[in-house]
Amino acid sequence: MLAWMRRRPAPEADGVSGPREEKTGPEAAADEPLLSVRSVERSFDVGGAKLRVLKGIDLDLYPKQLIMLRGRSGSGKTTLMNLMGGLDTPTKGTIHFRGRPFHEWNDDRRTEVRRRDIGFIFQAYALLPLLSAYENVELSLRMAGVSRSEWKARVTSCLELVGLGKRMHHRPFELSGGEQQRVAIAKAIAHRPSLLLADEPTAELDSQMAAQIMNVFREIVARENVTICMTTHDPTIMEVADHVYEMVDGVFVGSG
């Protein structure tokens, strides 16, 4: 079933939603989708036949939400996440990011958007082993073209946000799995993306560590004004989400 777990402000007496934090500059309006997926399909050529992995997905991601895509291995959640992050393009359907046709752009243009507006967290952490936590996060700012004068304050702020202020000069092999995932999170948010995509970020963690990571995610949504969309198959962490979408065989199932 599709589980809906909302944490939005309660409606006012006149039926109008309570106030949201106002966004300025290029930030998306709170009542407009940050990213919209419409009738998206994705097929792959396998042995001379077409393997349909996604079979018509509709999804809206709004500012300052924590969204979960739940499903078994092979359900299509990682494929969908790759499409939303511009790492792949749909066979059919449309994807709009900030109202712009993401699905029509070439890879160079999508890469520029990823560097500026999208952060990724991978299950395997994707940290450079010879660099400290601080240096791993700093590297993401270098790659994003952030001014050098901002590096120290931003790196320190991100590592403190994820609870690693006292461990920032340790290398990955000196950190626990949960701490390494926190470094990966700090690295992903350092360039101030508006969308954070996390593929099974708690899969390699025990239940206590997973709960801590989810608390970090909620804090990031609140403080960094970012939308987080993550894949999971862990039912114990879903109560912290704004919405949970159940995927089975390339489609969303259930309603509610």
Residue 149 lies in a domain: yes
β pairing state of 35-46 and 92-97 = antiparallel
Q: Which of 177, 125, 185, 192 is nearest to 160 (CA)?
A: 185
What dihedral do alpha carbons 106, 110, 249, 7 form, nearest 10°?
A: -150
Q: What are phi and psi of 128, to 5 degrees?
A: -80, 120
* Residues with pLDDT less than 50, the chain: 1-28, 255-256
CATH number, domain of 39, equals 3.40.50.300
Q: pLDDT value at position 176?
A: 92
> In whole angstroms, what is the distance from residue 34 CA to residue 245 CA?
17
Supply the pLDDT for residue 191: 93
Residue 16 lies in a domain: no
pLDDT value for 234: 82
Six-digit token pair at 145? 């073209």
Q: Are strands 227-232 and 118-121 parallel, antiparallel or unpaired?
A: unpaired
Do the domain assignments include residue 216? yes
**pLDDT for 145:** 87
Calpha distance 214→61 (Å, rounded):
18
In a domain, 24, yes or no: no
Structural domain including 43 reads 32-252
Q: Residue 80: its pLDDT value, please?
A: 96
Work out the end-to-end distance of the chain between its first and last CA atoms, rounded to an integer number of angstroms: 8
Judge contact between 247 and 69, C-beta under 8 A.
Answer: yes
Q: Which residue has the tokens 């989400």?
A: 241
The answer to whether residue 21 sits within a structural domain is: no
Q: How many helices (H) and strands (E) does the chain have?
A: 6, 11
Contact of 93 with 102, CB cutoff 8 Å:
no
pTM: 0.83
pLDDT in tens, 79-137: 999 999 999 999 999 999 999 999 999 999 998 898 889 999 987 788 999 999 999 99
- Which spans in the chain are helix H? 77-84, 107-117, 133-144, 151-161, 177-189, 207-224
Q: Would residue 69 be called left, alpha or beta, if left means φ above 0 and alpha means ψ between -120 and 50 degrees?
A: beta
Coil, helix or strand for 70?
Answer: strand
Q: What is the predicted pLDDT for the residue at 233?
A: 82
Q: Would you say residue 108 lies in a domain?
A: yes
Number of domains making up the chain = 1
Q: Does 142 map to a domain?
A: yes
Residue 170 lies inside a defined structural domain of this protein: yes
- What confidence score (pLDDT) does residue 30 get? 61
